[in-house]
Structure 1
Amino acid sequence: MTTLYGISNCDTIKKAKKYLTENNIPFTFHDYRKDGVDEAMITEFSTHLDWQLLVNKRGTTYRALSDEQKQSLTKESAITLLCEQPAMIKRPVLVTNEQYHLGFKPAQYNEVFSK
């Protein structure tokens, strides 16, 4: 089973969904805003992916944090923040065959699904 996690109006999510559809890869989509985010999910992500990479530092939500919040970010505080602000989770998170992948590039997905 393949699950794509993200926010439906994100351009990168749209590209990833298009890739999966065009390559006939069945998947489910988990929309953080509609389906929710909880501490267990983010903790699971951070077990398989570097928590620092999970934080989308390019987005407006992260940039709106105070300098103190950014500098004192730990794995635990990041998990709490990502639960409160799902838009701050780097997108997409792809889970397939119990493997976790972050971001989308066609070459990356070609490699993931060629196995």
Structure 2
Amino acid sequence: MLTLYIINTCDTCRKARKALEERGIPFNTHDLRKDGLSASLLEHILERVPLLEAINKRSKTWRDLPQEAKDNLDATSARALLLEHPTLLKRPLLEVDHETMQVGYRDGDYDQLSG
């Protein structure tokens, strides 16, 4: 079954959720704010999504970080930031299978999926 990683208040996440529902595609939802982001879940995601692609540098959370944290970003500090601030993770993330995770959502992205 598909898993959609979201933040419930995110408009794009709501659109992605609606797109799956309209297609009758069953899926589980994991709210990164409410359900949390554990170190093991983060590693699970990062095995499928490159670290730099996983960080949402357009988010308010990113803009609010101290400049020093952004300037000195490496793999270790990025993981620590993502665990401390799950809203830094790009979303929605749709885990299609054990190998594939789709980052973000635009209209038509889920057209190839079937229920």
Q: TM-score, normalised by structure 1?
A: 0.91
Q: Deviations over 1:65-105 (max 9, x none)?
A: 12221111112211111111111111111101221110001
Q: Separation in 2 of the partners of 1:61 and 1:45? A: 19
Sequence identity percentage: 39
Letter of the structure 1 residue corresponding to residue 101 of structure 2: Y
Gaps of 5+ in 1: none
Aligned to 2:29: 29
Aligned to 1:14: 14
Tell whether 2:72 aligns with 1:64. no
Letter of the structure 2 residue corresponding to residue 18 of structure 1: K
Aligned to 1:4: 4
Letter of the structure 1 residue corresponding to residue 69 of structure 2: Q
Letter of the structure 1 residue corresponding to residue 9 of structure 2: N
Show structure 1 runs of 4+ deviating over 4 A. Answer: none
Aligned to 1:101: 102
Cα offset, 1:42, TM superposition = 1.0
Give secondary structure in 1 for the equivalent of 2:57. Answer: coil
Q: Separation in 2 of the partners of 1:101 and 1:76? A: 23
Q: Separation in 1 of the partners of 2:40 and 2:79? A: 9
Q: Separation in 2 of the partners of 1:74 and 1:102? A: 21
Aligned to 2:77: 77
Higher helix share: 1
Matched residue count: 113
Q: TM-score, normalised by structure 2?
A: 0.91
Gaps of 5+ in 2: none
Give secondary structure in 2 for the equivalent of 1:3. Answer: strand
Give secondary structure in 2 for the equivalent of 1:33. Answer: coil
